[in-house]
A and B are shown apart, each in its own frame.
Chain A
Amino acid sequence: MKQLALVIDLNVCVGCHACVTSCKEWNTSGTAGWMADENPYSKDPTGTFFNRVQTFEVGQFPNTETVHFPKSCLHCEDPPCVPVCPTGASYKRESDGIVLVDSEKCIGCSYCSWACPYGARELDEEQKIMKKCTLCVDRIYDETLPEQERKPACVMACPTEARLFGDVNDPQSEVAIAIRESGGYQLMPEWGTKPANHYLPRRKASITIHEDELVRADNPLKKERKLPMPDDKDPTLDEITSW
């Protein structure tokens, strides 16, 4: 069955937040909009985002990793947010596996966000409607857009191409290959939610130097040696023989 999802490559994500605000600008004026901001120009501003980047440190100095971690709805194959919804507003599409909220049915009770172990849902405090990543469902099937732009806004924006998009259940897709070959993993698989979004881990490159690589016949310093030339008065064969 088709399951659209994002595969996020933590090996190249630099934490620039392009995905965060490109998502917001597309969706605030779209069918999922608006995405309200509370206290936009005063103390403690907070707003609705479908996608956020968290940055945290791992390890102790100097062996520290700084990890940028983009997080949005993982479009679980077995989404715990769906069965808890009392009105049926929270649903998973059979056609492509996207988990959506029908805003006209949503009563803002927040059961779904409590059920989501990933904290991926955000209640729009102004509209009192639950909101979340739609995988830009209003872009990806829009035939008025050029084909290469039928992607989520975050995927189009990402300067490092850290966000791959496609059908994770199609073994030939870019995302399935990335998961298979680059160690793609799910968040908290033990919860049995079968998140569709995957993450690719950090991969480290290193250079191996062999000691003998420092020893070379063509070392340029050898060109600086003047070849030793005996003085005219130094002994030669002439002193011992006359042939």
Chain B
Amino acid sequence: MSKPIHDPLSKQVDDASRMEVKNTTCYMCACRCGIRVTLRDGEIRYIQGNPDHPLNKGVICAKGSSGIMKQYSPARLTKPLLRKQGSDRGESDFEEISGDRAFEIMSDRLGHLRATDPKKFALFTGRDQMQALTGMFAKQFGTPNYAAHGGFCSVNMAAGMIYTIGGSFWEFGGPDLERAKLFLMIGTAEDHHSNPLKTALSKFKRQGGKFISINPVRTGYSAIADEWIPIRPGTDGALFLALTNEIIKQGLYDREFLTRYSNAPELVNMDEDSSEYGMFVRFEVPHEEGCFEPQNKLWWDRGLDKPISTHTPGADPYFLGEYKLDDGTPVKPSFQLLVDRVKGYTAEWASEITGIPEKTIKRLAHEMGITARDEKIELPIPWTDTWGDEHDTVTGNPVAFHAMRGLAAHSNGFQTIRAMSILMSILGTIDRPGGFRHKAPFPRPIPPCAKPPNDPRAVKPNTPLDGMPLGWPADPDDLFVNDDGSPVRIDKAFSWEYPLSVHGLMHNTITNAWRGDPYTIDTLMLFMANMAWNSSMNTSEVRKMLNDKNEDGEYKIPFIIVADAFQSETVAFADLVLPDTTYLERHDVMSMLDRPISEYEGPVDSVRIPVVPPKGDCKSFNDVIIELASRLELPAFINADGSRKFRDYPDFVVNYETAPGSGIGFLAGWRGKGGEKFMKGEPNPKQWEIYEKNNCVFHYELPRSYQYMRNWNQGYLEWAKRHSLLRYTEPINIHIYSEVLQKFRLAAQGKSDGKQPPDHLRERVETHFDPLPFYSQPLETQQSDLHKYPLNAITQRPMAMYHSWDSQNAWLRQIHTFNFLNVNSKTAREAGIEDGGWMWVESMHGKVRCLCRYSEAVEPGTVWTWNAIGKASGAWGLDGDANEAKQGFLMNHLIAEELPPSADGDHLSNSDPITGQAGWYDVQVRIYPAAEGEPEVSSPQFETAKTLPGQAVDLKRGRWLTYFAGKGGKT
């Protein structure tokens, strides 16, 4: 009898002598779990979650488990490529060149730009997590034209929350589901920070918590929600404001929390004739100005019935009412202004807008308020607040929230997210058990200290930029505008069009550069950003712009450099292609200077170390930056004698300090000569080795008394200052009322000195920079014909795909091979479209032919599809007739990057007027069946892209892929 194949005692395939195990950090998405990679004869046998890693504790997702197929994908680029003379962009006619030649071309070109006009060089990066390095490179180069992908991703979430509570979701903070009793999830991208959230959701449900999902669509996590509340896209702000109204009306807000920890009781100047109108009244001007809020505001004390300095021991302020100071100035507590604001936002009103029944809204408010009030958590953890008061316990109100792009990707998103942050705050849930909790290095001051330059003269030849390329304006004088108020940056960030665009506006860069508005550039360098496909709005037109020439035959954007590991659609449009490594081939850091993977309990950073050698001539973009910076002799990268300072990226990570002797570098763990220090300490030459020995992760757990209430926790703030996370130990009070926004409004009204908006933008700034949240329809909706285009179109993210990255992956593409447009069955029937039939979806900007899928899990006014499953023919190492190209489609063709012309301007970005966040989900559409006889293929189609020289087509094994790790194996 032959031996059964599954012989449990057989170790023939996994003989120990052939095996090797290495730890590193995943990058199949930005979750960045710890992984353990088993190699057999040098090939990847198995990738598992690292059980000793604090983030994922051994679990892994579909993407992480498919890392093997990314490594061996035929979409891999392996050679630097130069576009052939005479060929057009988009045609993929390249010649292989050496890495050295590629650097020569770049350093000649960029060296000239730096010596003449540094802003002619623009560097925009995608979903990387190395912004500390790329941002530093841009600053050292001297160009202001740098940003990462945040502007078209979720900057509204970052900005809306950070300008309110000093922290935000995802890397910066999140819901404490271990202690929460009620959890509200609103429009969350499910391909982000996924494993810890999944794990927490499961535990939360098993503990008996109630999970409510508010989303136009019920998919992914929402499937296991105890209650699904379908909502019309872009109307979440109306819901939050109505909930706030009801909670206040019922007295369900946490007065004690708001008194001490927010500006709710602080008195606002109501004298309309004063230049201080709408500002908090101050009893003295501070001696020292800094990036913190001086404690010099007033309350109206209930006992004395007169104004009193905030936080005076024994004082108890009124939240409501109207008062007069001795000098006759009329004042109101900011909470009264909030009450005035939400008064009209009743449940009945919100019901009309959101589609949620009035009684559901009221019930939701009551469930939140009563759970917060009656299910209080008291942790026996003594702590001391910044006013010196000692507390025996840490209190928590167990209502937690999580939200992401569903709120962020609307042009009313900033104010919506302000409204959500205020709702979370009035429930008393900020950095408390069961509510929202920060992750180091958050909380930050409101707003954080880093500022963009505020003077065009900050850009000088052969000189680093005077300021950070990205930062957090605190008032109009922080804007980066010319003397006439026009933008300095190519993407118009930090201009009056989008004053708080803290992550830039990558989505308008190509259009602006193509049009020469505000100016033309010479070289555009893109890293890991698929701007010729799913990362751009208006994809078809952007592809034309990339290929458009002036009358003299010169490209409108003369030189484009693309760094990518794979044959993305954008690579075809490059003049110079740099083949990047995969995550399994490189050194990387998840740095405290960037977006680390911190836990609620304390800072965590981590590293990647190569587990397999790079393929061909691939070079990690980190090393590209170090090499280029050294060749260009950027000051931070050379010694005093002009010699090169850093051998390569690993050498840079260990030895770079933010200033000579600062002790602050890219990695926080095992600093100091022998690795005895953390957060701060001199460089340690053995730092990489120690990380490697410690699962590639450093985790410092704060003392328990520093783990909560960090905005106001004396112990924590002093610890953070001592370890250089913060410059000041002043409390970070919640901005229920935003004076920052009011300052911009006063400028728009011409009431303040300092920078003023151009006249055509005054009304726009005055309207949107409201110090209290308000509801308005998204900008594009306001300009749409809602009779003609009655439906909202949105995308969702599947958990098994990360953006466009995974169609080259033989396993993951079998899970999502192509996409349907999901339409409520009733809506589809009314439009005469069959389930599984071809249909058109059309906006005022364009139309797409696609396949329809009936669904009961979407509200009738919304149609949706999975994001970025559709691919251009021939891209990503796929055959030209792959399903992704012929049946799959991209919603981007329906979405414009600019709003229709209006009184505010002809070329305003289709973005939030405060932050410049791309309004992906604002598009209005109509649907109709495809005519009989139409081709059964998605539209638009593009000419099949050619395979590139050096592309790893040897991995394209024809009909069968029979992966079996190890060269002694069966492949």
Q: How far is the CB of A138 from chain B (nearest CB, A)?
A: 6
A66 CB contacts on chain B under 8 angstroms: 218-219, 222-223, 857
B65 pairs with A37, CB closer than 8 A: no
Q: Interface 1/0s, chain B 32-52, versus A by CB < 8 A?
A: 000000001000011111010
| Contacts of B194-226 to chain A: CB distance below 8 A | 194-195, 198-199, 201-202, 205-206, 208-211, 218-224, 226
Binds B, one of A98-106, A112-120, A230-238: A98-106
Q: Interface 1/0s, chain A 213-224, versus B by CB < 8 A?
A: 110100111111
Q: Interface 1/0s, chain A 40-70, versus B by CB < 8 A?
A: 1111111101000001010111101111100
A41 pairs with B956, CB closer than 8 A: yes
Q: How far is the CA of A226 from the CA of B363 in the complex (A)?
A: 30
Q: Does B930 contact A (CB under 8 A)?
A: no
Q: How far is the CB of A66 from chain B (nearest CB, A)?
A: 4
B194 pairs with A16, CB closer than 8 A: yes
A169 CB contacts on chain B under 8 angstroms: none
| Contacts of B251-272 to chain A: CB distance below 8 A | 251-253, 255
A68 pairs with B223, CB closer than 8 A: yes
Known A29-B40, A57-B857, A207-B371: A14·B6 in contact at CB below 8 Å: no
A21 pairs with B199, CB closer than 8 A: no
Binds A, one of B55-63, B126-134, B647-655, B893-901: B55-63
| Contacts of A142-184 to chain B: CB distance below 8 A | 142, 144, 148-149, 153, 156-162
Among residues of B, the one whose C-beta sits closest to the C-beta of A28 is: B963
Q: How far is the CB of B700 from chain A (nearest CB, A)?
A: 25
6 residue pairs, one from A and one from B, having the closest CB atoms: A160-B202, A17-B62, A219-B251, A220-B255, A42-B879, A40-B961
Q: How far is the CB of B125 from chain A (nearest CB, A)?
A: 27
Q: How far is the CA of A57 from the CA of B218 in the complex (A)?
A: 9
A45 CB contacts on chain B under 8 angstroms: 810, 813-814, 817, 883
A59 CB contacts on chain B under 8 angstroms: 856
Q: Does B8 contact A (CB under 8 A)?
A: yes
B857 pairs with A29, CB closer than 8 A: no
Q: How far is the CB of B153 from chain A (nearest CB, A)?
A: 21
A68 CB contacts on chain B under 8 angstroms: 223
Q: Interface 1/0s, chain A 82-118, versus B by CB < 8 A?
A: 0000000001000000001111110000000000000
Interface residues on B, range: 35 or more
Among residues of A, the one whose C-beta sits closest to the C-beta of B800 is: A17
A24 CB contacts on chain B under 8 angstroms: 65-66, 811
B60 pairs with A18, CB closer than 8 A: yes
Q: How far is the CA of A213 from the CA of B370 in the complex (A)?
A: 7
A223 pairs with B960, CB closer than 8 A: no
Interface of A is mostly: loop
From A43, A49, A126, A157, B960 is in contact (CB under 8 Å) with A126
Q: Does B302 contact A (CB under 8 A)?
A: yes
| Contacts of B869-894 to chain A: CB distance below 8 A | 877-879, 881-883, 886
Known A24-B811, A25-B65: A12·B211 in contact at CB below 8 Å: no
B74 pairs with A14, CB closer than 8 A: no
Known A37-B810, A61-B826: A43·B963 in contact at CB below 8 Å: no
Q: Does B906 contact A (CB under 8 A)?
A: no
A31 CB contacts on chain B under 8 angstroms: 5-7, 10, 12-13
A162 CB contacts on chain B under 8 angstroms: 202
A64 pairs with B228, CB closer than 8 A: yes
Instruction: Output the residue of A31, A207, A214 with the most chain B CB within 10 A.
Output: A207
Q: Does A20 contact B (CB under 8 A)?
A: yes
Q: How far is the CA of A66 from the CA of B882 in the complex (A)?
A: 29
Q: Does B860 contact A (CB under 8 A)?
A: yes
In addition to A144-B11, A156-B58, A214-B250, 17 A-B residue pairs with Cβ atoms within 8 Å of each other are: A14-B198, A16-B220, A22-B48, A22-B65, A24-B65, A29-B966, A31-B12, A34-B962, A34-B964, A49-B814, A62-B859, A101-B5, A141-B8, A159-B195, A209-B367, A214-B370, A224-B320
Q: Interface 1/0s, chain B 5-23, versus A by CB < 8 A?
A: 1111111111010000000
Interface of B is mostly: loop
A16 pairs with B198, CB closer than 8 A: yes
Q: Does B460 contact A (CB under 8 A)?
A: no
Binds B, one of A71-79, A187-195, A198-206: A198-206
A101 CB contacts on chain B under 8 angstroms: 5
From B6, B224, B250, A134 is in contact (CB under 8 Å) with B6
A12 pairs with B251, CB closer than 8 A: no
- Could you tell me which B residues sit within 8 Å of A by CB distance? 2-14, 16, 40, 45-49, 51, 56, 58-66, 68, 74, 182, 190, 194-195, 198-199, 201-202, 205-206, 208-211, 218-224, 226-228, 230, 250-253, 255, 302, 316, 318-321, 363, 366-367, 370-371, 374, 799-800, 808, 810-815, 817, 824-826, 855-860, 877-879, 881-883, 886, 956-957, 959-966, 969-971
A62 pairs with B363, CB closer than 8 A: no
Among residues of A, the one whose C-beta sits closest to the C-beta of B74 is: A41
From B14, B320, B366, A209 is in contact (CB under 8 Å) with B366
Q: How far is the CB of A111 from chain B (nearest CB, A)?
A: 19
- Could you tell me which A residues sit within 8 Å of B by CB distance? 11-18, 20-22, 24-26, 28-34, 36-47, 49, 55, 57, 59-62, 64-68, 91, 100-105, 126, 134, 137-138, 140-142, 144, 148-149, 153, 156-162, 202-207, 209, 213-214, 216, 219-224, 226
Q: How far is the CB of A9 from chain B (nearest CB, A)?
A: 8
Among residues of A, the one whose C-beta sits closest to the C-beta of B199 is: A159
A156 pairs with B49, CB closer than 8 A: yes
A57 pairs with B62, CB closer than 8 A: no
Subset of 27 A-B contacts with CB under 8 Å = A11-B206, A12-B224, A14-B224, A14-B799, A16-B198, A16-B800, A17-B61, A22-B60, A25-B65, A29-B40, A36-B960, A36-B961, A37-B963, A40-B961, A45-B810, A45-B813, A47-B814, A61-B825, A62-B228, A62-B859, A100-B4, A138-B7, A142-B11, A158-B59, A205-B226, A213-B370, A220-B251
B963 pairs with A159, CB closer than 8 A: no
Q: How far is the CA of A78 from the CA of B810 in the complex (A)?
A: 36
B855 pairs with A57, CB closer than 8 A: yes
B56 pairs with A159, CB closer than 8 A: yes
